[in-house]
Chain A
Amino acid sequence: MLSKRIIACLDVSGGRVVKGTKFVALRDAGDPAELARFHAEGGADEVVFLDISATRENRTTLLDAVRRTASQIFVPFTVGGGVRSFEEAAALFDCGADKMTINSAAVVNPKLITTIAKRFGSQAVVVAVDAKRAGSSYGVWVKGGTEPTDRDAVTWAREAQECGAGEIMLTSIDQDGMRSGFDCELTARVSEAVSIPVIASGGAGSGGHFIDVFTKGKADAALAASIFHFGLQNARELKQELQKSGIPVRLPC
């Protein structure tokens, strides 16, 4: 049976791993390549780097980290954050990324999804959607969750799929960094609206939260950042807990 994926996410800034709470208050937590290997060996099904640098000057540092990481891990490796153009996406693939995520630039120009997918395949293009509750629906926010748009999250996810996205990485801005659980309502709405996998993100704080997002939230995969970072659990321990609740996971791993 196809398993639910647990994806280790490393927020990278200036070539170092950091983790934000509500996208601010950074805390240095180490070398990206070392941590990526640590997570892959700890049973993570995939590893994601999200570059959250505010400026472009550290792009070379990021590419260097991507290159070093790609030669050390043999599970799917995704890199994103701040990708604005086809050339920037191509540079990530050149350095060994298997997939890339695109967010703000795709909102401005959805055709960019198509251009990248045509060259590298849909399986390599993950569209990241940052959503924030607005009344009974969810709006799309861009620029690291700091700027609202007039787009609806569910409609945008469907449009991204039509443009050639292979997966949707859906982050709840409301829940991000709270460790009080994923937004299962948001996740289920998007998951039911698309036919490509949905990766839930934002709010993980316990194994129970993952069970909820895979059942109530209908997620195909879930991103975990903070729960891995400071030794709470590794992916293997988390999966053992999920397996006991009947969630299909890759074990042994």
Chain B
Amino acid sequence: MISLIDYGAGNMASVRKAFEHLALETEIIDKPEQISKATKLVLPGVGNFKSLEKLEQTGMRAAIQESVARGVPFLGICLGMQWLFETSTEAPEVQGLGIFPGKCARFTETPRSLHVGWNQISFCNGSSRLFQGIADGSYFYFTHSYWCPIESSSSATTQFQTEFAAALEKKNVFGMQFHPEKSGDSGLRILKNFGELPC
């Protein structure tokens, strides 16, 4: 069972449909006790970093922290990946999980302030578990205006204005700046790899 964390913002439906297409069972959860019972967690996300404060207010942040520490596989998508850092200049008062050091910053205004579309990723090393079966240089669909810094756990980077982290992988914690659920066969393969990780 893959548990999708709902914090009241963004569209859960497309991530859920992608897992269902892969015949992987999902549930949508929004309570700390549900998070504690989950064996695989996904934090999807679109929208504003500020919306993530709901995780703190509802006690879900602490539950996620505890599950991650126990080794439960966790995948943060887009905003969900940004939340794995300390914070974002989008809403500096909202605390991220801080698993990865640094903060997310905004792209410059010109000529394009949003990174929207299909971009290629470059692997940082060949050993990523979620990129099994994916070729280096594959295209994925991005849509975001804030970016995450590259650090030692980055498993792939991409280039738009600057080079930034496209994916992260540290033990049981994974992050994708792009949307695997909207990235065709390559994206579905990543979700399948996540679904097949041992619990």
Contact = CB atoms under 8 A, between A and B. Distances in A.
A98 B139 CA distance: 19
A1 B116 contact: no
A124 B112 contact: no
A120 B47 contact: yes
B170 to A, nearest CB: 27
A59 interface: no
B182 A98 contact: yes
Contact of B46 (A4, A45, A96, A124): A124
B184 interface: yes
A126 B106 CA distance: 21
B183 A74 contact: yes
Interface residues of A, number: 30
B159 A74 contact: no
B141 interface: yes
A196 B113 CA distance: 6
Contact of A75 (B17, B111, B160, B184): B184
B114 interface: yes
Given A70-B13, A70-B14, A124-B46, A75 B116 contact: no
Contacts of A121: 9-10, 46-48
Contacts of A120: 10-11, 46-47
B21 interface: yes
Given A74-B183, A75-B184, A121-B46, A93 B11 contact: yes
A1 B120 contact: yes
B71 interface: no
Interface string B162-199: 00000000000000000001111101100000000000
A123 B118 contact: no
Given A195-B111, A196-B112, A3 B182 contact: no
Main secondary structure of the interface of A (DSSP, over half): loop
Interface in B83-133: 109-120
Contact of B119 (A2, A96, A122, A195): A2
B143 interface: yes
Interface in A111-149: 120-124
B24 interface: no
B114 A196 contact: yes
A71 B13 CA distance: 9
Contact of B139 (A40, A196, A253): A253
A71 B184 contact: no
Contacts of B47: 120-121
A250 B18 CA distance: 21
A250 B187 CA distance: 14
A197 B48 contact: no
B77 to A, nearest CB: 13
A130 B144 CA distance: 26
A5 B187 contact: no
Contacts of A253: 139, 184
Nearest to A5: B117
A70 B17 contact: yes
B195 to A, nearest CB: 15
Interface in A164-211: 166-167, 195-197
A14 interface: no
Given A120-B11, A124-B46, A3 B118 contact: yes
Given A98-B182, A121-B46, A2 B115 contact: yes
A197 B117 contact: yes
7 contacts: A2-B117, A2-B119, A3-B118, A74-B181, A121-B46, A195-B112, A197-B117
Interface of A: 1-5, 40, 45, 70-71, 74-76, 93-94, 96, 98, 120-124, 166-167, 195-197, 220-221, 250, 253
Shortest 5 CB-CB contacts between residues of A and residues of B: A121-B47, A123-B143, A195-B113, A250-B139, A250-B118
Given A3-B120, A71-B21, A253-B139, 7 more contacts: A1-B159, A3-B119, A74-B187, A120-B11, A121-B47, A197-B114, A253-B184
